[in-house]
Amino acid sequence: MQTPLDITGCLDNIFLALLVFGLALIIKREVAFRLLAVMALLTLLSFAARLAAIQPLIRSIDTVIASMPIILAVIFQNDLRRTLLAIGKRQSTAPAQDSDGTVDEILRALADMAGRRIGALVVIVRHQPIDHLLQVGTDLDAKVTSELLNSIFLPYSPIHDGAVIIHKGKITRAGCLLPLSHNPDIAKSFGTRHRAALGLSELSDALVLVVSEETGKISAVHDSTITYDIETAELKRLLKKSLDQRRSSPSAPAEGASP
């Protein structure tokens, strides 16, 4: 026999709210707490409706709460796809070859292009594959050098208007088109390169570097976040972390590295 307050129904809603919060925390931490606040409000309304025995309101709130997992999947479909791709994927334990030298070459190239205001888009592939997200592009198998990167992005180069892909310390493709972000919150001042960088970061764990031809500023984009005019020290840290697959692998020991 049910109690007047229908304690079982309240407990079910609380359990479901906590479950939805846990899933949101895994998928996208920065919005999980906002979602928890919404779920807490709905649960309190459900409790008040049961206390007042307002059956239509009880049914409406219970329907909304029961639908939250589906709503969550729709809102965070890109982040959910990226999370699912990462689950169970085998990580490479072999260290990247000469990662420090590659980092220095990339930094030198970015600094040169920024100084001359040559637009550039460089993608560092990490653990998740991105081939299915790329459009067109020219296959390459070349060592990363500042001279080669500079020559690719020169305005008269046939493959300058696209992204360079660096995987396992080598340039594997150039002139690639990336998926554009449709995030309405992106600054109006950001152009196609920044939107493309953000679009790829929303679907993968890649690190994307952008040189703006308008301002000469360097931006780093990863985890759906743009760091505009990034400092050289921070950029070097991100590059080392992304290129050294053994150290950056979640399954590898920390070896004293700072998080």
Taking only the tens place, the pLDDT of each residue in 77-114 is 666 666 665 554 444 444 444 566 889 999 999 999 99
Average model confidence (pLDDT) across the chain: 76
Least confident of 14-18, 42-46, 232-236, 249-253: 249-253
Residue 72 pLDDT: 64
Q: Are 61 and 45 in contact (CB under 8 A)?
A: yes
**Total-model pTM:** 0.61
